Structure 1
Amino acid sequence: MSVGSGAGESRGRSPGRSVAGNIAFGAGLLLVLATMTLGAFAGVALTIGLADDSFLSPVVPDDGRNAVGIGGIGMGGLLGLMLPLLLLAAVRGTEEKPRLGPGEALLKALVLVLFSVYLVVVSLLAAQLGWILPEGITTLLSFFIVGFSWAPVALIRWERFGLGGMAGLRPKARVQGGSDKSD
């Protein structure tokens, strides 16, 4: 039995796909990746600008400047990735998964912005290592500090607040075949 497909399954296209649908999916994927990348660049420019030319400049040491940029990457990348997906979920819906209402979409967008600000605050805290550590070590440690700072937030039960952890944006899992037993 081959590894790629089950017995009796064809390797052809599924009946629900079309060339136009594939092109639309590809265009949407490119749009989301572009907004994520541009958002990350914009986040870095914003946070480095805050670290250099604002009221935060005395707080951020020279060796901690890259840590603030790492927080900007997280902030901008997250906003650039999720806001187009939120807009898509607000205008597109099916019978199984209705579209997001304006209030729910706005609430989820506000939560995204607050989480992005949280990432910047964590990066400002990581930048404080620059007072005692050299720049390279501060940058390396801040990468892990900012990168794993979402873990405590992930443990919060967002369903209590009516947010559901952005479950409205994820596609539902489809079960292929009639059996879930492994060989």
Structure 2
Amino acid sequence: MSAESGAGRPKAPRPRRSAAGNVAFGVGVLLVLATATLGAYAVVALLGQAVDSGPLSSAVPEEGHNALIVGGIAIGGLTGLMLPLIFFGMVRGNEHTPRVGPVSAARKVLAVLVFDVVLTVVSFVVAQLGWLLPAQITTVVAVFVIGFSWMPLAMVPWERFGLGEGFGKLRGSSASHQAQ
């Protein structure tokens, strides 16, 4: 008897997808890509209206508008990508990846919306560089800063706040099913 964790045991082959499953997967991918793209366009349009002729017209310099466009792409793309995936997780599941419950889905949607607010604030802060820098340099800085603004959030130990245990439980339940 070996004390290994089952590395020598052959794994059961995964069942192959049917043609209908492949079509459904392709439709799902197209839907997610479409919502991400349309979300990016929608947020860019909303931020553009708020800055060009709206209440924020005096708060953002002309050279900082591209920072808001970069932020709008990030906000709309992230929201348009994550919401369909969360909803798909609510209706699809199997023994290895259980369905996402309504409470967990609501928590995930709330997390996406909070991150959208963080990206909006970061976009407006970077747009203020337009008072000091030319538009091209402001755009480059915006791409870098907005693109990496998620890094501090990734370093927070969310499990200590009770927010990261869903992923651990998912992996743990999957591991416990395999061990049985």
Residue identity matched to 1:44: V
**Structure 1 residue 129 displacement after superposition:** 0.6
Residue identity matched to 1:42: A
Unaligned runs of 5+ in 1: 1-13, 173-183
**Structure 1 residue 37 displacement after superposition:** 0.5
Q: State yes or no: 1:80 paired with 2:80.
A: yes
Q: TM-score, normalized by length of structure 1?
A: 0.79
| Number of the residue aligned with 1:146 | 146
| Number of the residue aligned with 1:123 | 123
Identify which range, 47-56 or 79-88, moves more after superposition: 47-56
Partner Cα separation in structure 2 for residue 107 and residue 140 of structure 1: 33
| Contact 1:108 1:163 (C-alpha < 8 Å) held by counterparts | no
Q: TM-score, normalized by length of structure 2?
A: 0.81
**Structure 1 residue 133 displacement after superposition:** 0.7
Partner Cα separation in structure 2 for residue 69 and residue 143 of structure 1: 10
**Structure 1 residue 79 displacement after superposition:** 0.3
Deviations 1:75-120 (A, max 9, x none): 0000000000000111222223221211111111011011011101
Report sequence identity in percent. 54
List 4+ stretches of structure 1 deviating above 3 A.
Answer: 165-168
Q: Cα 1:34–1:165, aligned 2, differ >3 Å: closer, same or farther?
A: farther
Which structure: greater helix fraction? 2
- Please give the residue correspondences for 1:56-135 in structure 2 after superposition, counting only pairs within 5 Å: 56-135=56-135
| Contact 1:108 1:166 (C-alpha < 8 Å) held by counterparts | no
**Structure 1 residue 55 displacement after superposition:** 2.4
Residue identity matched to 1:103: V
**Structure 1 residue 165 displacement after superposition:** 8.2
**CA RMSD between the two structures:** 2.4
| Contact 1:63 1:131 (C-alpha < 8 Å) held by counterparts | yes
Partner Cα separation in structure 2 for residue 50 and residue 75 of structure 1: 15
| Contact 1:67 1:143 (C-alpha < 8 Å) held by counterparts | yes
| Number of the residue aligned with 1:159 | 159
| Contact 2:83 2:109 (C-alpha < 8 Å) held by counterparts | yes
Unaligned runs of 5+ in 2: 1-13, 173-180
Residue identity matched to 2:149: S
Partner Cα separation in structure 2 for residue 122 and residue 38 of structure 1: 22
| Contact 1:70 1:146 (C-alpha < 8 Å) held by counterparts | yes
**Structure 1 residue 49 displacement after superposition:** 1.5
Q: Cα 1:100–1:161, aligned 2, differ >3 Å: closer, same or farther?
A: farther
Q: Cα 1:153–1:80, aligned 2, differ >3 Å: closer, same or farther?
A: same
Residue identity matched to 2:159: E
